[in-house]
Amino acid sequence: MANALLQLESMQSKLDALERAKTEPIAIIGIGCRFPGGIDNPEAFWRILHDGVDTITEVPKNRWDIDSYYDPDPDTTGKIYTRDGGFLTEVDTFDSQFFKILPREATSLDPQQRLLLEVSWEALEYAHQVSEQLYNSLTGVFVGISTNDYAKRLLGTEAPDAYFGTGNAFSAAAGRLSYVLGLTGPSMAVDTACSSSLVAVHLACQSLRQQECHLALAGGVNLLLSPEASITFSQGRMLAPDGRCKTFDAAANGYVRGEGCGIIVLKRLSDAIASQDQILAVIRGSAINQDGPSGGLTVPNGPSQQAVIRQALKNGGVDPVQVSYIEAHGTGTSLGDPIEVGAIGAVFGASHSQEHPLIIGSLKTNIGHLEAAAGIAGLLKVVLQLQHQEIAPHLHLREPNPYINWDELPLNVPTQPTPWSAGSEKLFAGVSSFGFSGTNAHVVLEEAPSQFKSRSRSVGFAESPLAPLNNGGNSKVKSEDFSERPFHLLTLSAKSREALTELATRYQKHLETHQELALGDICFSANTGRTHFKHRLAVVASSSVELKEKLAAFSISKEVAGLYQKELQSTTTKPKVAFLFTGQGSQYVNMGRELYEQEPIFRKTLEQCDTILRLYQQKPLLSVLYPEPGETSPIDETAYTQPALFAIEYALAQLWKSWGIEPDVVMGHSVGEYVAACVAGVFSLEDGLKLIAERARLMNSLPQDGAMVSVIASVEQVRANIGASPSPNHVAIAAINAPESTVISGLEAGVQAVADQLQIEGVKTKPLKVSHGFHSPLMEPMIEEFKTVARQVSYSEPKIKMISNVTGEVATVEVATAEYWCRHIFFPVNFVAGMETLHQSGYEVFLECGPKPILLGLGRQCISKKTCIWLPSLRPRQEDWQQILQSLGELYVRGLQIDWKGFEGNYPRSKVTLPTYPFQRKRFWIEVAENYAKHEPVKEIEDSYSSFKERYAITGHLTVDNIQRCLTDLMAKELGIDTDTIDSKIDFDRYGIDSVLAVGIAQTIGSVMGVKISPLDLMQNSNLEQLSKFIANQASSQEREVLEI
């Protein structure tokens, strides 16, 4: 019985979860828009709303000649009785290169589709959604679109090309967006006339709740590119002669048409909260219905409007009394306004009063009726009002419509900006959109949860310190001492240098106008919430002011420290990275202290090392590294030096790896090779620290009768001097650091004798501050005891390629033996050979994991190649964060993939709104009056075999060279690009040649060259070089066939 009850409870729990999923609220996490009045982002939209701006203007010349079509008499056939509308700027331009669309295709592409691509990208950036992470994801696309004016322009040309169909089909408006971004969720275009975009939002919400997609783009677009629809609406007396929507006013006499595009990014609320997304507002419920048997196809139906509002409230679990604002459909018609207000009154009249009225308004008074995009525009208005907790003024209301019973309806229309608050309660609002074919939609919105709202914070970090780690009491730094990084790294990228410069300028202006934003939040949002393209910029700064100054310097191509810029050849291939681990002599007190205090990964790793080393050392590691004021540190005593360096270098390696920088190869110098081996997986951290601690202890116990001297000479010259010295058996080569840099070691008297002789020969020498003669026969007395320790360790073959100090070559299984580490003690460090091995293997990025960039200087002496990059982790007398972020910035601009979430994972960051991508637009437009030949560039190549031979000076058989020259011209003209941008070795698909173009190109080749090829031949011979050879062979074969006949 008990089991049966448990099963029933489990089943009921699952049923409840399914039921909740059906009505789960949907979070709006990103928005993008283009509206009349030059509105190209949400901030600009809010300024227009808050200031009560009327954005209506006269019809631009690039749409149609209003003088030719205007006639104030509505009975005049074929004319328009209004001169005005709400129009966008630059609808004839588009960044085709950004979206990898050929110029020829872009010309045939409906500007509505172009607009959707750009605005959707901006909305995704606003939502901090990165395109690589969306690729092949269950992301849905729901687009409201109802007009195809551009197709009418194209039909005015002689013959629309192959791209006419896909460029102007409604289905392709959504499908292209999914295709370009690689989205695999539901994708559909919706046409319910004026309610299209709000219906699209409803469908997107349903799809999310049904788990058909995990993210959704929803919205609509509308452009007015030809006069036919305006003529039709004039004949139906639908338009306002003065070009203004006078919604709810006694003078309401029609609407004014408008253009625009609005897109929102949607997620299930639970997912948005889990992802800590910036939530702008929440969709609680939505509904759609149809007017059915009303007074006429285009006549509004009051009862149906009431029903759709009630259903949306019910679906969202919202009571009418909770709603304090309605964004009305509000077209400003004498028939529609009274019907809609009556429906609103019927739903909300009983729950509101004259003292606490429901506020209503209509965006159409600002920007006109955007038809298919009207619903999403109204929704975006409400989202911004919720964000700002202010209701924007409703325009053109001078005398309330007498057909609306204002005295009895508890409604208010604001004509001034009105504060909007529900006290301790949540704000709720509704948005209505009604199609003239009878489809109605209503969406109920709720303000975002307070902790997830789009927000700005004061500059600084004091309000949220890092949580202390559970380190067993080892910490030398108290948790309250944790603070924000003193330096930050901002990364920007674009697809061209021009776009990158413009983006930097946008950020510079954004910093000026948003001084309240925390620098850490700005960098976090930019680094994690943007796609990283091949033109890259990295900036290290300690304040927003410094960041702004450096961005300004970049904009004028001024070089400053902490500013890195580079163009990558590819964003898919990354350079190979070598980790170099420094040897003894690089240590100093407080090395890495800033990282220890402010970077949890680094701190945790050091404390782990501290715990392990307490088994082998009397003085704790952290006291050695970071002594209290007044204390002295034994860091220069060998017994403590070597374990301290191991710990610091290992912690640096772990830190780099946590940021996504994984080594392709590791190499250490003397002590550093122990860290390299540990990172490569030869032995564990515990065993590595045991080895180095015992090595250091045993070395420290040896007589301090040795010395080491650095010599600026080749190993051959030094070896000859040792052989000629009085005590050749007492001096050894300790390290071969560079072609002209050698270190000798041994008994002090012998070492000094060799050094003196070298100085007589004019060779520079420098004694090293060491306690012993390392890497010399003086170390032999400790070998047996060390071997006993080394044989207790578990070894494995390197899991990462490792370069051996002993051989200077790629380490073999030999490094996984105790004997190797015994030989390592007195064999010379063959660093120069190791660097040569790395050079021959193609390594060009060298990252030193150590407290001083000693190995980088030696490496430069070994490899003179200018393309190499040498990056320190730390540097004495430079702040830790400044140095390590400078190196991280260099790695970024050179194509390394940074794990930005790992980089920021231990800091309480907020996603903040930042500038979006600056599209580099060019004009793509069909002028109806122009001859279509302009849009058929292949005609410029004569279509006869004889003229082809004459044009390319062919006197005999076709050759690969003259075929390739012809194909280059033909392809450039077919694609609408310059010939000098075509590389004969790059595959056709990189240029956007698809099956449609392949058919046309194959036919043209056959006509021009007299050689029969199929589209399949074009795809199988996938670049110009291959195709030219193929055509030459085909031509030769065809000539032989003719001769045989």
Residues 6+ away with beta carbon under 8 Å from 860: 868, 870
Within 10 angstroms of residue 189's Cβ, the number of other Cβ atoms is 24
Residue 796: exposed, middle, or buried by beta-carbon count in 10 A (0-12, 13-18, 19+)? middle
CA distance 75 to 637: 102
CA distance 913 to 516: 12
Q: In sequence order, which ranges of 556-625 are alpha helices (DSSP H)?
A: 593-598, 600-613, 621-625
Q: Say if residues 578 and 663 touch (Cβ distance below 8 Å).
A: yes
Catalytic residue, chosen from 194, 205, 609, 966, is 194
Answer yes or no: 523 catalytic.
no
Concatenated DSSP letters for 761-788? Answer: TT--EEE---SS--SSGGGGGGHHHHHH
Answer yes or no: 329 catalytic.
yes
CA distance 733 to 808: 15
Concatenated DSSP letters for 394-441? Answer: PPS-SSB-TTS-TTTS-EE--SS-EE---TTSPPEEEEEEE-TTSEEE
**3-state DSSP assignment of residue 144:** strand
Catalytic residue, chosen from 369, 488, 510, 824, is 369
Token digits for 260?
A: 């625009």
Report the C-alpha dihedral over residues 110, 113, 119, 122, rounded to 10 degrees.
-120
Q: Say if residues 390 and 50 touch (Cβ distance below 8 Å).
A: yes
Question: Please, what is the angle between helix 685-700 and helix 783-790, to 10°?
Answer: 170
Answer yes or no: 388 catalytic.
no
Concatenated DSSP letters for 195-248? Answer: THHHHHHHHHHHHHHTTS-SEEEEEEEE---SSHHHHHHHHTT-B-TTS---TT
- DSSP code at position 168: H
Going from the C-alpha of 425 to that of each of 446, 447, 450, the distances in angstroms are 11, 10, 12
Token digits for 963?
A: 């075929």
CA distance 399 to 803: 86
CA distance 706 to 745: 7
Q: Which run of H or E residues covers position 361?
A: strand 358-361
* Phi, psi for 667 (deg, rounded to 5): -150, 135
- Dihedral angle sign, alpha carbons of residues 343, 347, 349, 350: positive
Burial 764-781 (b: 16+ CB within 10 A, else e): ebeebebbbbbbbbbbee
Catalytic residue, chosen from 128, 329, 394, 772, is 329
CA distance 585 to 432: 74
Pairing of strands 922-923, 93-94: antiparallel
Residues 6+ away with beta carbon under 8 Å from 882: 486, 487, 540, 542, 562
* Phi, psi for 391 (deg, rounded to 5): -100, 125
Q: Residue 222: beta bridge partners? A: 260
Closest CA to 41 of 513, 414, 420, 554: 513
Query: ∠ at Cα 660 (595, 491), nearest 5°?
Result: 80
Burial 957-976 (b: 16+ CB within 10 A, else e): ebeeebbbbbbbbbbbbbbb
Q: How far is CA 394 from the centre of its chain?
A: 38
Half-sphere exposure of 756 (CA within 13 A, CB side): 8
Token digits for 122?
A: 């901006």
Positions annotated as catalytic residues are 194, 329, 369
